[in-house]
Amino acid sequence: MKCSDISDPQVTSVELDRLADRRLVLLDHEGSYEGVCLWFECQFPGDSPCLSTSPASPRTHWQQTALVLPQVEEVAAFECVAWEVVLERSSDERRHYNIHFSMLDPDKEPHPIPCDCISPRCALIGHVMEEYEKTVGIIE
């Protein structure tokens, strides 16, 4: 499962009060869709190394946050999943965030064009683009 990076290294403290991200992710293999993993990366000013809590980075005490879905979904290769994550800074504890996670209908989210997913709409667009390129020329 691909994870999202919703941080911007130039954000201000006020901007950190609320962070939101909406994603459409093309899955590269079939399997069980069980949740989403969140982590942060922080680049401090100067030549400091990046502080990353990514699962692929050396372990820190910060760790990651796993958002586990209420039920497991079996997914196919080249299927899309979509979600929205909103992080709101807690008014009680400024170092804590309340996490709001919503699964979205991937068929109602905009897909890139061309898109390699298995949805009939994207397959049709891909086919039309291929035929156009064969008869008219390359689409830029």
> What are the residues binding Zn ion (CB under 5 A)?
111, 115, 117, 119, 122
The smaller minimum CB distance to Zn ion, of residues 27 and 117, is found at 117
Beta strand residue intervals within 2-96, DSSP E: 18-26, 31-38, 41-42, 51-52, 65-75, 80-89
**Nearest approach, Cβ of residue 84 and Zn ion (Å):** 18
Closest CA to 116 of 65, 72, 78: 78
* C-beta closer to Zn ion: residue 25 or 122: 122
- CB atoms closer than 10 angstroms to residue 9: 10
State in angstroms the smallest separation of the CB of 121 from Zn ion. Answer: 7
Least distance to Zn ion from the beta carbon of 112, Å? Answer: 7
Q: How far is the CB of 122 from Zn ion (least distance, A)?
A: 3
Burial of 129 (0-12, 13-18, 19+ CB in 10 A): middle
Closer by beta carbon to Zn ion, 19 or else 118: 118
Question: In terms of CB distance, is 81 or 87 closer to Zn ion?
Answer: 81
Cβ(43)–Cβ(9) below 8 Å? yes
